[in-house]
A and B are shown apart, each in its own frame.
Chain A
Amino acid sequence: MGTITGIAAIGAGLAAIGAGIGIGKIGGSALESMARQPEHSSMIQTNMIIAAALVEGVALFAVVVALLQG
């Protein structure tokens, strides 16, 4: 039980790495495009939020599996 809890925690941490990289890339490209075309900022922001929520959803699948501990 203790080992599985530890490995589940490692799995959740790996999912956090994936979410961090994914949302970081989304945020980075959103900021870059906002710098290129400030007049479309709000549309870019909306789409960034949508994409970030989708990526975070996938990461949270992994968190749920880790919570269920395998």
Chain B
Amino acid sequence: MSSFSLGKIFLFASIFLASISNAFCNQENDSLSSLEKKAYDPVPDIMHHISDSHEWHFWGEGESAVTLSLPIILWTDNGLVGPFLSSKFHHNDNGQIVVIVDGHSLVKIHDKIYELNQGQKSAVFDESHHIKNGILPLDFSITKNVACMLIAFFLLMLFFIISGIKAKNNKTAPSGLLSFLEPLVLFVRDDIVKPNIGKNYKKYLPYLLTLFFFILMNNLLGLIPGSANVTGNIAITLVLSFITLIVTNFSGNKSYWGHIFNPPGVPLALMPIMIPIEIVGIFTKPFALMIRLFANITAGHIIVLSLVSLIFMAQSGLGNIAAWSLSPVAVVFVLFMDLIEVLVAFLQAYIFTLLTSLFIGLATVEEH
């Protein structure tokens, strides 16, 4: 025992550590530099999942990706460039592959399809990586969002035609699909439309019911993994709020327009200020509807995708074991966020419909 004094143990341990620390340092340096090379950046993947695309991507990367190619329909200056599947581009997104259809040379850059000018053989880029010899034709393709909207359309038609037939023949309490949809329809009619519009609510009920169920179905479909982000696309919410603008202003009666161009109780000196404010107010209300729906749904999707990317960031930062052990925690978080997103889906459909019926009610209020 006397030969194993503390000093000798200390000496032996330090020599041992010194001899292998070199190996540790090298390994650490190597793994550090290789980590810096492949540090996972979640932003491009998140943006790819939120944006629209000409093919429906399920899994995989690059050439071996499993995708569903969707038809591309373009309107150029020479007319329609007919429906052709986007598989012709072979997942290429940087303009390298030129597809020739009906004499038009097309390239795809950042998921926008450009037509090369006459006689050009390949895309030429300038310093800021924009294409120099191509123009953008009008794109009427069936993209991922359009395909998902069509699926939502078929589902809604299916559910409501079945329930409508059952409701007509049914004399007793409803059951099955009807028992789920009928309280929703009655909720929209009795708690959203009738209190806000008043007497002639029946004229606006079809539009408001369609609005509610369209937004609800698309919000809920967007929560399924691998589905398209329909209501989080600002073009779609723009169209919905534009239709609301049209319906509100075309059903405005004399009193409504009177309040805008001749606000009551305003002294003449303030009129030049009040009238532009009122006119701008016609447009800000649907604009707020558009931004509210878009931002709520997109923010929800970004949060869920970021929580899933936590696993991949852990893998690139701390290694596979950390990623595997983090996965159950991340999945629980994602499940929790998805439940909140279901609530947000209902809430946003309710709010959009409620505010629309409020605006219609304000426009059609009877002068007493």
**B-binding residues in A (CB < 8 A):** 46, 49-50, 53, 56-57, 60-61, 63-64
CA distance A61 to B234 in the complex (A): 13
Q: In this assembly, does B291 line the interface, its C-beta being within 8 Å of a C-beta of chain A?
A: yes
Asked whether A63 and B191 contact (CB < 8 A) given A53-B347, A53-B351, the answer is: no
Q: In this assembly, does B296 line the interface, its C-beta being within 8 Å of a C-beta of chain A?
A: yes
Asked whether A63 and B299 contact (CB < 8 A) given A46-B191, A57-B292, the answer is: yes
Q: A64 touching B347 by the CB < 8 A rule?
A: no
Q: In this assembly, does B99 line the interface, its C-beta being within 8 Å of a C-beta of chain A?
A: no
Q: Which of B191, B296, B350, B354 is close to A56, meaning CB atoms less than 8 Å apart? A: B296
For residue B347, which residues in chain A have a CB less than 8 angstroms away from its CB?
Answer: 49, 53
Q: In this assembly, does B288 line the interface, its C-beta being within 8 Å of a C-beta of chain A?
A: yes
| The 8 nearest A-B residue pairs measured at CB | A60-B295, A57-B292, A53-B351, A64-B295, A57-B288, A63-B295, A61-B291, A64-B291
CA distance A63 to B191 in the complex (A): 31
User: Does more than half of chain B's interface fall in helix, strand or loop, or is it mixed?
Assistant: helix
Question: From residue B62, how far is it (CB to closest CB) to chain A in Å?
Answer: 26
Asked whether A57 and B291 contact (CB < 8 A) given A49-B347, A50-B351, A50-B354, the answer is: yes
Closest to B350 in A: A49
Closest to B351 in A: A53
For residue B288, which residues in chain A have a CB less than 8 angstroms away from its CB?
Answer: 57, 61
Question: From residue A67, how far is it (CB to closest CB) to chain B in Å?
Answer: 8
For residue B212, which residues in chain A have a CB less than 8 angstroms away from its CB?
Answer: none
B281-323 vs A, Cβ < 8 Å mask (1 yes, 0 no): 0000000100110111001000000000000000000000000
Question: From residue A33, how far is it (CB to closest CB) to chain B in Å?
Answer: 19
Question: From residue A42, how far is it (CB to closest CB) to chain B in Å?
Answer: 9
Subset of 18 A-B contacts with CB under 8 Å: A46-B191, A49-B350, A49-B351, A50-B351, A53-B347, A53-B348, A53-B351, A56-B292, A56-B296, A57-B295, A60-B291, A60-B292, A60-B295, A60-B296, A61-B288, A61-B291, A63-B295, A64-B295
CA distance A49 to B294 in the complex (A): 18
Question: From residue B29, how far is it (CB to closest CB) to chain A in Å?
Answer: 26
Q: B354 touching A60 by the CB < 8 A rule?
A: no
Contact size range, B:
10 to 19
CA distance A53 to B348 in the complex (A): 8
For residue A53, which residues in chain B have a CB less than 8 angstroms away from its CB?
Answer: 292, 347-348, 351
CA distance A57 to B289 in the complex (A): 8
For residue B191, which residues in chain A have a CB less than 8 angstroms away from its CB?
Answer: 46
Closest to B195 in A: A46
Closest to A64 in B: B295
CA distance A57 to B286 in the complex (A): 12
CA distance A25 to B122 in the complex (A): 60
| Residues of chain B in range 334-352 having any CB-CB distance to chain A below 8 Å | 347-348, 350-351
Besides A56-B296, A61-B288, A63-B295, 20 more A-B contacts (Cβ < 8 Å) are A46-B191, A49-B350, A50-B351, A50-B354, A53-B292, A53-B348, A53-B351, A56-B292, A57-B288, A57-B292, A57-B295, A60-B291, A60-B296, A60-B299, A61-B291, A61-B295, A63-B299, A64-B291, A64-B294, A64-B295
CA distance A60 to B302 in the complex (A): 14
For residue A49, which residues in chain B have a CB less than 8 angstroms away from its CB?
Answer: 347, 350-351
B44-73 vs A, Cβ < 8 Å mask (1 yes, 0 no): 000000000000000000000000000000
CA distance A50 to B292 in the complex (A): 13
For residue B299, which residues in chain A have a CB less than 8 angstroms away from its CB?
Answer: 60, 63
CA distance A61 to B284 in the complex (A): 12
CA distance A56 to B294 in the complex (A): 12
Question: From residue B338, how far is it (CB to closest CB) to chain A in Å?
Answer: 19
Question: From residue A27, how far is it (CB to closest CB) to chain B in Å?
Answer: 14
CA distance A18 to B320 in the complex (A): 39
Closest to A62 in B: B295
For residue A46, which residues in chain B have a CB less than 8 angstroms away from its CB?
Answer: 191
CA distance A63 to B354 in the complex (A): 23
Closest to A53 in B: B351
For residue A61, which residues in chain B have a CB less than 8 angstroms away from its CB?
Answer: 288, 291, 295
